Structure 1
Amino acid sequence: MHSSDKTFLNDNMREQIRREIIDDLDEEFELSLEEDIAGGQLDEASRAFRRTYFHELVRLQGELVKLQDWVKNTGHKVVVIFEGRDAAGKGGVIKRITQRLNPRVCRVAALPAPNDRERTQWYFQRYVSHLPAAGEIVLFDRSWYNRAGVERVMNFCSDDEYEEFFRAVPEFERMLVRSGIQIIKYWFSITDYEQESRFRARIEDPLKQWKLSPMDLESRRRWEDYTLAKEIMLKRSNIPEAPWWVVQAVDKKRARLNCISHLLAQVPYEAAQHPDIVLPERIFHPDYERKPVPEAMLVPELY
């Protein structure tokens, strides 16, 4: 590669990393429209889209609240599966979905690696306890499809276990659907270049370095193995009762809006009727006297 080409590539990567860090900053100020959040470094088109993004996100989150109320009132049961490569943006969209919802209705299941006992169980067993009851939504941040992805690529399962998974998973999901659970499955798709830039941004950002595990770093080396595993997974587990949906996720903000909008379209929810809320009058007792809080118990007001 010519030296000028390398310089161009490095400059592009540096710009991508800078934008990635700016996007991470946006996550902490999701409801803020202040233009100085990015240090004045965004062009006008990017600023205009940020305004659209924040407006649409709040609107879609309002619809998610309506969906939540409908699920609770009707006893509907929903499972949403989020899969994708490391740094594909699954956690970001899950955060936006749950941001304004009741955790008693909508909860996240993010299971760690199985322990020694769980490895001896029926493969799907540890996931079953996290399935929703009536009136609940469960978001799986990775799911039983770990067997088709990381376990396959990293040789954590045998060929027989891998084949048995694909024999069992369609029937397992059909059984869940027959029991009244709606299953919605998303694969977040990013490019090789985009994943590298996100990983490098995490390396440079001390607030994000914890997100990089040895397994994440190894996934970079095995990019093509993961690609093949993903292609096989989508082909062998895409069933009419629980089809796969692919989210183009190179642009994080557009991916979040597109995914949430699509999710809302999958459930036939309606706005619930709520009675008017009347705040009751406070009861006053003439003999009540509030006691002062001891100084030693007070949190120092540093800000």
Structure 2
Amino acid sequence: MNEDSLVVQSQIHREGADLHERLSSKRYEKELARLHVELVKVQEWAVHTGAKICILFEGRDGAGKGGTIKAITERVSPRIFRVVALPAPTEREKTQMYVQRYLPHLPAAGEIILFDRSWYNRAGVERVMGFCTEEQAKGFLKAVPLVERAIIDSGVILLKYWLEVGQEEQTRRLEERIHDQRKIWKLSPMDLLSYSRWYDYSRARDEMFEKTDTEDAPWYVVRSDDKRRARLNLITHLLKHIPYEPIAREKVKLPKRQKADGYRESERPIKYVPERF
């Protein structure tokens, strides 16, 4: 793995490893608020300069990709920070060059695209679950560094994150989804099959890192057993890898409201939502 990665392969989470004490909610919210201010600066910088930023989020089921993406996008514009989570390919898309359906979603000037899973599906779920052949998976791993080199050469800042969760914590999170009606939608039959194939995914992940962790587009691994720490660590890291600068703003002052000039509230009955709380 590239030396600049957050961790090397040997440091990926192992069962029984000592973990930091869980981060308190108060400290988490304080640190996240500070990072949100910086993300707004990134947004303004991207719009002002026409920068193009693409961030990939990969990892096992239950690793916290969705929650991390929500933490990033909570206080910024969805028109600038756009989340892409593609469904299964259509019959037509299955006949295309593999990465073709992802390319239209790459950022234009002033856009920041966050892929909730990406073209690396072929190296992970498709390979492990038999949705592609070994030959197709090997071909993808050989070709993708060239594709990413072309993306970067077009002026895109490309960041690739793998969220790594341990076996016990993954089990806890998936069981929570089973019993929490707010989260049951997150658990699909595919998740259950994937859960049973932990080591097949480990082998696929290891080869993916070996073949696609390049100097141009390295993988960064985030240990995510503690979701709060993982989110703060990832956001802090991506901010350091985007060369943004604060954009000067004009001082904002609310203007005076116009006078009523004879306006009267309509007498038409209004259907208000009942106040139950």
Match of 2:62?
Answer: 87
d(CA) in 2 for partners of 1:52, 1:112: 36
- Secondary structure in structure 2 of the residue aligned to 1:129: helix
Match of 2:274?
Answer: 300
Q: Does the C-alpha gap of structure 1 residues 183 and 294 become closer, same or farther in structure 2, counting only changes over 3 Å?
A: same
Match of 2:43?
Answer: 68
- Secondary structure in structure 2 of the residue aligned to 1:55: helix
Name the amino acid aligned to 2:275.
Answer: E
d(CA) in 1 for partners of 2:147, 2:23: 45
Alignment of 1:1-303 (within 5 A): 49-295=24-270, 297-303=271-277
* Greater mean alpha carbon deviation, residues 232-241 or residues 199-208: 199-208
Instruction: List gaps (5 residues or longer) in structure 2.
Output: 1-19
Superposition deviation, residue 286 in structure 1: 2.2
Question: Deviations along 1:7-51, whole A, 9 cap, x unmatched?
Answer: xxxxxxxxxxxxxxxxxxxxxxxxxxxxxxxxxxxxxx9797322
Name the amino acid aligned to 1:294.
Answer: P
Query: TM-score if structure 2 supplies the norm length?
Result: 0.90
Show structure 1 runs of 4+ deviating over 6 A: 45-48
Question: Deviations along 1:192-229, whole A, 9 cap, x unmatched?
Answer: 11111111111121211111100001111111101100
Superposition deviation, residue 292 in structure 1: 3.5
* Greater mean alpha carbon deviation, residues 136-145 or residues 274-283: 274-283
Superposition deviation, residue 285 in structure 1: 4.5
Question: Are the equivalent residues in 1 in contact too, given 2:23–2:229 (CA < 8 A)?
Answer: no
* Greater mean alpha carbon deviation, residues 285-294 or residues 241-250: 285-294
d(CA) in 2 for partners of 1:268, 1:212: 37
Higher helix share: 1
Name the amino acid aligned to 2:227.
Answer: K
- Secondary structure in structure 1 of the residue aligned to 2:253: coil
Higher relative contact order (CA 8 A, sep 6+): 2
Q: Does the C-alpha gap of structure 1 residues 165 and 293 become closer, same or farther in structure 2, counting only changes over 3 Å?
A: farther
Instruction: List gaps (5 residues or longer) in structure 1.
Output: 1-44
d(CA) in 2 for partners of 1:230, 1:57: 29
Superposition deviation, residue 102 in structure 1: 0.8
Question: Are the equivalent residues in 1 in contact too, given 2:84–2:105 (CA < 8 A)?
Answer: yes
d(CA) in 1 for partners of 2:88, 2:204: 19
Superposition deviation, residue 278 in structure 1: 2.3
Q: Does the C-alpha gap of structure 1 residues 290 and 46 become closer, same or farther in structure 2, counting only changes over 3 Å?
A: farther
Match of 1:22?
Answer: none
Name the amino acid aligned to 2:138.
Answer: E
Q: Does the C-alpha gap of structure 1 residues 291 and 139 become closer, same or farther in structure 2, counting only changes over 3 Å?
A: same
d(CA) in 2 for partners of 1:48, 1:235: 32
Match of 1:16?
Answer: none
Identity over aligned pairs, percent: 52
Instruction: Count matched residues.
Output: 258
